[in-house]
Amino acid sequence: MIFLSFDIEEFDNLFPCSQNFTFEEQMSVSRAGTALILDLLKQKGVKATFFCTANFALHAKNLILRMVDEGHEVASHGYYHNLFNPGDKKRSKEVLEELTGQEVVGFRMPNMMHVDNQELLDCGFKYNSSLNPTCLPGKYNNLGSPRRIFKEEGICQIPASVSPLFRIPLFWLSLHNFPLALYRLLCDWTVRKDGYINIYFHPWEFMDIKGGKFDLPGIVTRNSGTALAKRLEAIITHFQQKQIPFGCLRDCESLFLNK
């Protein structure tokens, strides 16, 4: 099973440049990137999970409704992307449920930060996908964490996929920077070992973010925009040719823990 997920947020990340954008500029980048993602998924006939901040959702209701209409899962990415207040997780769930008319069962903390299991249970979430079980200096130090889907304190934990043995992350930066053949090889290896991969991206990656006002590091801008869309399309085609199905993260527990 291939699980694609996208962190849909106002372009308010930890890169200094994004702090120079007005809120409308932040939203414009993310709206356009989200629309491109939806177009690609529709073209390929693939369903995915969209972790949306409530702030984004309230300012892009048409895109949230499109996600629902096209069969994707809408999950929570918090209320704001870089501002955290007590009660925000529950409020984000309520906003998304009101907009979609569907139960929101999944959560991913912005920047893959730690989140308390009991807090998620109290809010009514059933799964958490906020763990990247690898080691990236200054970012993640989770080599002691489980690599595959597991249950913890009543919450289904769905880590981002990393390769067996060496825990090479398969997240967004890897698709930007690894040779495509190597990325496919790592994904194939992980699917054979685990039965699935869970890989994630952001809408702004699919935009032209080189130079100008963005001033992002090369590791982020390499193969961004149209190039990234083509790379993701190639990965989707690769697995479709292998007849490996795509799914939404809400189905993970029943598929992998409740057998």
| Number of domains within the chain | 1
- Compute the distance between CA of residue 167 and CA of residue 147 in angstroms, rounded to an integer: 8
Confidence of residue 19 (pLDDT cuts 50, 70, 90): low
Q: Return the structure tokens found at 229.
A: 């869309």
CATH of the domain at 169: 3.20.20.370
- Compute the distance between CA of residue 87 and CA of residue 148 in angstroms, rounded to an integer: 29
pLDDT of 134 > 70? The answer is: yes
Global pTM value: 0.95
Query: What pLDDT is attached to residue 38?
Result: 98
For the chain, percent of residues with pLDDT exceeding 90: 81
Give the structural domain span for 31. Answer: 2-257
pLDDT tens sequence across 53-73: 999 999 999 999 999 999 999
